[in-house]
């Protein structure tokens, strides 16, 4: 089952890149979310930093190079999942200051064109 180690490798790289993105000195969690349509042709990305007060930090953003690198790893995970099962629609990865991370995958049975932009 080479698929699981391959997924783990790419998700860990997303976590590493996200953890390394410049952030305020004190933060609670940083997250990356990517949605990819079932045909793989359309995608969206979003990022969120939760500051020390527990609220999203306004004005914080991920540099383009880091976003591109994370997307590349997410897309590889998506392609890998398509070879073993139904590909996921949404992946959300959260990283804590200690470097630990978790990932949630969402799947969809029904998809209408444009759904990705409405959510």
pLDDT score of 118 more than 90: no
Dihedral over alpha carbons 60, 77, 92, 4 (to 10 degrees):
-130
User: Are 97 and 17 a contacting pair, CB within 8 Å?
Assistant: no
Domain ranges of the chain: 3-118
Closest CA to 48 of 68, 67, 33, 26: 33
pLDDT at position 119 = 59
Which DSSP helix (H) or strand (E) runs through 81? helix 64-84
Which comes out higher in pLDDT, residue 119 or 30?
30
Q: How many residues does the chain have?
A: 119
pLDDT score of 1 more than 50: no
- When pLDDT is cut at 50, 70 and 90, the band that residue 5 belongs to is confident
Specify the CATH number of the domain 3-118: 3.30.500.20
Distance of CA 22 to the CA centre of its chain: 17
CA–CA gap between residue 77 and residue 87 (Å, rounded) = 9
Question: pLDDT tens digit string along 56-82?
Answer: 999 999 999 999 999 999 999 999 888
- Give the whole-number percent of the chain exceeding pLDDT 70: 92
């Amino acid at each position: 089952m080479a698929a699981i180690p391959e997924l783990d490798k790419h998700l860990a790289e997303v976590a590493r890149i996200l953890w390394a993105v410049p952030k305020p000195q004190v933060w609670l969690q940083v997250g990356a979310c990517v949605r990819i349509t079932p045909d793989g042709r359309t995608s969206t990305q979003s990022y969120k930093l939760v500051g020390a007060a527990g609220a999203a930090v306004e004005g914080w953003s991920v540099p383009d190079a880091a976003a591109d690198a994370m997307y590349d790893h997410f897309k590889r995970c998506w392609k890998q999942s398509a070879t073993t099962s139904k590909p996921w629609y949404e992946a959300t990865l959260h990283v804590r200051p200690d470097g630990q991370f978790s990932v949630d995958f969402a799947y969809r049975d029904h998809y209408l064109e444009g759904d990705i932009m409405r959510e």
